[in-house]
Structure 1
């Protein structure tokens, strides 16, 4: 722009010197002065416009930097949220696996307990027999056997000798009259 202004100024000066007429010279000088004023005004406006563009660019850069910082903060929050969701998903997956293992294992344990219980129940009679066989039975002496047989013979309902084997015409000791004073003496007789 300044080169153009210089050209116009030179052209006006040359025209002024070349012309003979003073009116024309004054008129050309006025035009050159007006042109220079316009050019100065345009330069001033261009400078102001350049300053506005510079400040607008500066504001734009600051706004862009602020937006980037906000975007980075938001991305960090999103990443933290995704990490938390991932952690919770891993915990949920571990619980699901544990429940699945429990569902698979529980019937096996129940079946094993049932089978062990059946084995124990079936072995109990054998254990009882073994315990009975392991007991030492002391043989009864002759007096005890005699007393047991006599008690059975004297009783109204015998346990060792069945009443069916008894002959009806034979009397039992209980059928004999006993004295109310001394029943044990009659037994010994």
Structure 2
């Protein structure tokens, strides 16, 4: 039976001791005021993203840029009206790496953040039984907590890996998602964690 390259990567990744990143020391380090993130000695340039009148900020790899919405202006307006949240999307030149930030309408108090993340994982597993959960836990950058989980959707050569982080901002769920091909997991799993960990919130008084 033919084994796809991505299936081999998946087998190796799952067997690694660091497959579950909840208790793993970070492999990356931030240098300067939003300049670079260094991973395994290699620097990657970052850019600061500010949203919601500057009340939310985080660093994203500079290889990502805002994703242009397709369709007519009318279709774009109608799509935004149908959404139940505010959303910003970014991608790279190949369109294979996608980062999405969403400020959900869902109201949530911070003590229930971890439980919400766990319930979300259960729901996703029910919808996509083939999905493999590879990690999860809580991050505590600055003065707020971030719940995260990682999963893989095995689809042969099109297998996709996803890192999702979520926190509570102004009483609502703020979610960041990084999705990329499994073959990019060694780099982008760390870049995603680094970016999510730079999230800063300025609650209005």
How high is the TM-score relative to the length of structure 2? Answer: 0.13
Relative contact order (alpha carbons < 8 A, sep ≥ 6): 1 or 2 greater? Answer: 2
Structure with higher strand content: 2
How high is the TM-score relative to the length of structure 1? Answer: 0.14
Structure with higher helix content: 1
Could you say which structure has the larger radius of gyration?
1
